[in-house]
């Protein structure tokens, strides 16, 4: 099967759509603490769905993992562990900045580090990227992507300056610009570790092919290892929060005290405050929406692993395509959820320009990969 970079771009768009959309179901969770719905969703994101999909689509998954060198398993798991720190603070980014601005800032750092560091560490940046026409075009596409992220960030800053605190918190109840920027910076840098984990898992993908896995799904075997590392970090942190906030009972009890309902800022959705007088927690719906969010989150890397197989020798550029696609769709969700309501014409023009530049960056990167397949 010959690589088809433009098909790869399409797969990355689908992954970006999934990633940019996964947080929406969490908005319908009622009267649960952040650590509760985040961990329920995480079980589906990092354990249940990855293993289910890999067992269905990858032959001999157990044999593949048992044949994988321990060093490979360690590094794939370790970078997943490091990515976990970025993943758990990514949720905080959404809480403090909203979907549009939060994702733009966090993913800007993530795109830069996650795209450029793997070929630099491999020692192929000079020969494969700078030393070829196709590599230079891809690098230009990365630059266009970062420009688009920067413009989107400018739009977010412009919106923050124009809106009153009441307007900001009408749609983002815990809006805090500077706290959000700090969290987003940490989240973005650490989240780029996922790209390193996928690169470390290349031997697992090779073994999957040897065992007859379809080319498109070879990466699913590596994903279960990387995501296990991410699950570990998030599980430990959520357990710490449960202990500190005494919120572990929320998994099992349908009733919650009026005091905790009023005082608990981590409850999601506008109706959380309106329903503060109610003691009834919609357990079934909370589990359903959290599971849905977690499943949608996983689908970003399901499609990412498919897109990566189509990028030829420049598969490191997949990370840029993924980040650009996430920001495009998360911004569109932010617009749909009225996070930009009340912004000026100038600010709306900036975010529109940022989206256009991001779309252009995916096409530039796709064209560079296409040229690479012709050489």
pLDDT, tens only, 44-101: 999 999 999 999 999 999 999 999 999 999 999 999 999 988 877 877 777 777 656 6
Regarding predicted confidence, which is higher, 133 or 176? 133
Find out whether 135 and 364 touch, Cβ atoms under 8 Å.
Answer: no
pLDDT at 340: 75
Q: Band of the pLDDT at 270, cuts 50, 70, 90?
A: very low
Write the pLDDT tens digit of every residue in 204-228: 999 999 999 999 899 999 999 999 9
Of 8-17, 20-29, 262-271, the least confident: 262-271
Vertex 21 angle, CA 15 and 22, to 5°: 90
Vertex 176 angle, CA 174 and 179, to 5°: 120
Tallying the residues shown for the chain, one arrives at 375
Q: Look over the chain and give the mean of its residue pLDDT values, rounded to a whole number.
A: 81
Instruction: Give the closest residue to 97 by CA, choosing from 23, 12, 37.
Output: 23
Q: Band of the pLDDT at 173, cuts 50, 70, 90?
A: low
| Measured CA distances, 228 to 75, 80, 157, 158, 256 (Å) | 12, 7, 36, 39, 32
Domain ranges of the chain: 5-374
Find out whether 272 and 330 touch, Cβ atoms under 8 Å.
Answer: no
Q: What percent of the chain has pLDDT over 90?
A: 32
Instruction: Give the closest residue to 267 by CA, choosing from 37, 101, 20.
Output: 37
The single-letter DSSP state of residue 128 is I
Residue 210: other Cβ atoms inside 10 A: 12
**Residue 366 CA to its chain's centroid (Å):** 21
């Amino acid at each position: 099967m010959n690589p088809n970079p433009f098909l790869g771009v399409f797969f990355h768009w689908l992954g970006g759509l999934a990633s940019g959309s996964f947080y929406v179901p969490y908005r319908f969770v009622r009267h649960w603490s952040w650590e509760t719905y985040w961990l329920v969703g995480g079980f589906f994101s990092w354990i249940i769905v990855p293993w289910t999909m890999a067992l269905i689509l990858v032959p001999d998954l157990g044999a593949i993992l048992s044949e994988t060198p321990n060093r490979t398993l360690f590094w794939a798991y370790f970078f997943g562990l490091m990515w976990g720190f970025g993943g758990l603070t990514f949720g905080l980014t959404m809480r403090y900045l909203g979907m549009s601005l939060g994702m733009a800032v966090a993913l800007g750092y993530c795109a830069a580090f996650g795209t450029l560091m793997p070929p630099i560490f491999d020692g192929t940046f000079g020969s494969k990227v700078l030393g070829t026409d196709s590599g230079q075009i891809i690098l230009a596409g990365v630059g266009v992507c970062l420009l688009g992220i920067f413009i989107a960030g400018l739009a977010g800053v412009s919106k923050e300056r124009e809106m009153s605190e009441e307007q900001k918190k009408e749609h983002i109840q815990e809006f805090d610009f500077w706290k959000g920027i700090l969290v987003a910076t940490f989240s973005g840098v650490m989240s780029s570790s996922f790209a390193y984990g996928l690169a470390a898992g290349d031997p697992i993908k090779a073994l999957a092919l040897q065992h007859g896995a379809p080319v498109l799904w070879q990466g699913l075997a590596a994903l279960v290892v990387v995501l296990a590392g991410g699950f570990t970090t998030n599980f430990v942190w959520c357990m710490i929060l449960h202990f500190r906030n005494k919120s572990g009972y929320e998994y099992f009890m349908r009733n919650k005290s009026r005091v905790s309902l009023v005082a608990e800022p981590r409850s999601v959705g506008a109706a959380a405050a309106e329903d503060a007088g109610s003691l009834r927690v919609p357990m079934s719906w909370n589990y359903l929406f959290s599971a849905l969010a977690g499943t949608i989150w996983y689908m970003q890397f399901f499609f990412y692993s498919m897109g990566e197989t189509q990028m030829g020798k420049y598969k490191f550029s997949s990370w840029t395509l993924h980040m650009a696609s996430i920001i495009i769709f998360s911004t569109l969700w932010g617009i749909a959820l009225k996070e930009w309501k009340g912004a000026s014409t100038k600010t709306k023009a900036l975010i529109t320009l940022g989206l256009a530049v991001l779309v252009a960056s995916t096409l530039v990167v796709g064209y560079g990969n296409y040229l690479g397949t012709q050489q």
